[in-house]
């Protein structure tokens, strides 16, 4: 008899959401996390009185997306979310909202009028082609946008590509921009959990599976209507109290049938024939009927024997390295009197977010906390990247250097796979029977916590189809 019904390798948000959902389907679950704390990138900690997240975050598709579905159905404790706000670009004149529809684009005087017209025409063309199934999903943004644009316009489009995929517009597809900008929405349908009753003879997981299998993107034709009505910040929010409040809600909702062991690095996934049967750590071994791996799928070949062609596919998973600078300011600055994010200043792409504006307790009284995230190329020269990042911040916000009393750096892989043209996503099933995958390298929809939630819904679907649920 196995020690557990399910062993989950990895205690990041994907692993914890998997543990929560599976345990509430009656499974005895063990979560093994290599670090001394769970949460992964979905966490917060305190530096000199300022509470920093592990990178700036926005929870997307919250109104009817996958995290909302999981929260409504599985959470015992609910975090409180604050409306996210808007996306901006910064110029020497201050902040300007990023246009999310053609109407807004007309007044977006950050770019030359001729360029705005040409980009509007390109966007209309892309949406029309997508509506009628004529858009090449792998076409790079760089190849699709009109030629002859100004340098600032190319720089702006490149910044948007980095924001949505972590890569330049030469590696980001037009599809990614349309979905990431909410012109096409990939939320989960609202009726996934409706009329689910065990007494009806149809299992809970079966209902989830049936609804997911019938799910299609709502109304391709409605996409064209969003040329006039689209909002890029559609249904986005930030958890009051920071990411740790979302993490706590997951942990507080966890049944007693879940056991979590930290500082437990899995070094081997055990198999019997073609089936996964357990794992070993440095100090213990555990048996189970099912394994769910939520670590970096790229590292899976180090733990279990896999077919060569699958290993080759995993090697093509694309990743982005990011540098986040958290700046604790001794007083509030009018330049950061907003909620939301700014994603561009001439000459550089970054994602800046004044998170203490959502909850004053995140910073000491009267002070302010702002995070700046950059995609970095030179992982072997972090100090040089830090200097470049600070130089851009000082150019974008003159005088900020005199307000800084705390500086904290984070170097992370924000998502386990970047949504690029040639990048691979592994999906839920592995070639090993009863070994499943979840996480941000298994599903390409949306980003961050939302993408992790998508992967967990796909996990439930696959396990139902395989008669494990």
Digits of tens for pLDDT over the chain (469 positions)?
Answer: 789 999 999 999 999 999 999 999 999 999 999 999 999 999 999 999 999 999 988 888 887 789 999 999 999 999 999 999 999 999 988 999 988 777 787 788 999 999 999 998 888 888 888 777 788 778 999 999 999 999 999 999 999 999 889 999 999 999 888 887 765 655 554 444 444 444 334 444 444 445 444 444 444 445 556 566 666 555 789 999 999 999 999 999 999 999 999 999 999 999 998 899 999 999 999 999 999 999 999 999 999 999 999 999 999 999 999 999 999 999 999 999 999 999 999 878 899 999 999 999 999 999 999 999 999 987 779 999 999 999 999 999 999 999 999 999 999 999 999 999 989 999 999 999 999 999 999 999 889 999 999 999 999 999 999 999 9
- How much is the pTM? 0.90
* CA atoms within a 13 Å half-sphere pointing along the CA-CB vector of 165: 26
Q: What is the pLDDT of residue 296?
A: 98
Question: How far does Cα 90 stand from its chain's mean position?
Answer: 24
Q: For the structural domain made of 4-42+73-80+241-317+422-465, what CATH number should be given?
A: 3.50.50.60
Q: What is the pLDDT of residue 191?
A: 45
Residue boundaries of the structural domains of the chain: 4-42+73-80+241-317+422-465
């Amino acid at each position: 008899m196995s020690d557990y019904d399910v062993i989950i390798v990895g205690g990041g948000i994907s692993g914890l959401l998997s543990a929560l959902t599976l345990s509430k389907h009656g499974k005895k679950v063990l979560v093994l996390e290599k670090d001394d704390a769970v949460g992964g990138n979905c966490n917060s900690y305190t530096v000199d009185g300022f509470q920093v997240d592990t990178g700036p975050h926005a929870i997307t598709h919250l109104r009817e997306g996958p995290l909302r579905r999981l929260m409504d159905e599985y959470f015992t404790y609910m975090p409180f979310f604050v409306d996210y706000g808007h996306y901006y670009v910064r110029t020497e004149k201050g902040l300007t909202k990023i246009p999310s529809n053609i109407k807004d684009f007309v007044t977006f005087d950050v770019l030359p009028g001729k360029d705005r017209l040409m980009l509007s025409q390109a966007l209309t063309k892309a949406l029309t082609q997508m509506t009628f199934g004529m858009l090449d999903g792998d076409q790079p943004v760089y190849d699709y946008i009109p030629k002859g644009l100004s340098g600032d316009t190319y720089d702006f489009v490149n910044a948007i590509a980095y924001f949505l995929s972590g890569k330049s517009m030469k590696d980001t597809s037009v599809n990614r921009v349309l979905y990431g900008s909410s012109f096409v929405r990939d939320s989960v349908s609202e009726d996934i959990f409706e009329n689910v009753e065990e007494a009806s003879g149809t299992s809970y997981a079966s209902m989830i599976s049936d609804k997911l299998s019938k799910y299609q993107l709502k109304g391709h034709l409605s996409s064209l209507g969003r040329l006039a009505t689209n909002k890029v910040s559609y249904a986005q929010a930030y958890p009051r109290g920071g990411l740790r409040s979302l993490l706590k809600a997951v942990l507080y909702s966890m049944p007693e049938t879940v056991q979590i062991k930290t500082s437990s690095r899995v070094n081997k996934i055990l198999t019997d024939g073609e089936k996964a049967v357990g794992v070993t750590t440095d100090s213990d071994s555990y048996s189970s009927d099912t394994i769910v791996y939520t670590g970096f799928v790229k590292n899976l070949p180090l733990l279990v024997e896999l077919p060569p062609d699958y290993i080759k596919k995993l090697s093509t998973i694309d990743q982005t390295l990011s540098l986040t600078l958290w700046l604790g300011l001794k007083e509030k600055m009018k330049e950061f009197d907003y909620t939301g994010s700014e994603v561009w200043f001439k000459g550089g792409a970054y994602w800046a977010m004044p998170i203490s504006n959502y909850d004053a307790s995140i910073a000491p009284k009267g002070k302010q906390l702002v995070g700046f995230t950059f995609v970095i190329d030179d992982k072997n020269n972090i100090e040089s990247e830090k200097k470049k990042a600070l130089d851009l911040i000082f150019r974008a916000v003159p005088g900020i250097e005199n307000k800084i009393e705390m500086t904290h750096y984070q170097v992370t892989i924000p998502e386990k796979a970047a949504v690029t043209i040639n990048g691979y996503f592994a999906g839920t099933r592995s070639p090993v029977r009863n070994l499943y995958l979840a996480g941000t390298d298994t599903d390409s929809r949306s980003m961050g916590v939302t993408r992790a939630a998508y992967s967990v819904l796909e996990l439930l679907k696959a396990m139902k189809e395989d008669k494990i649920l």
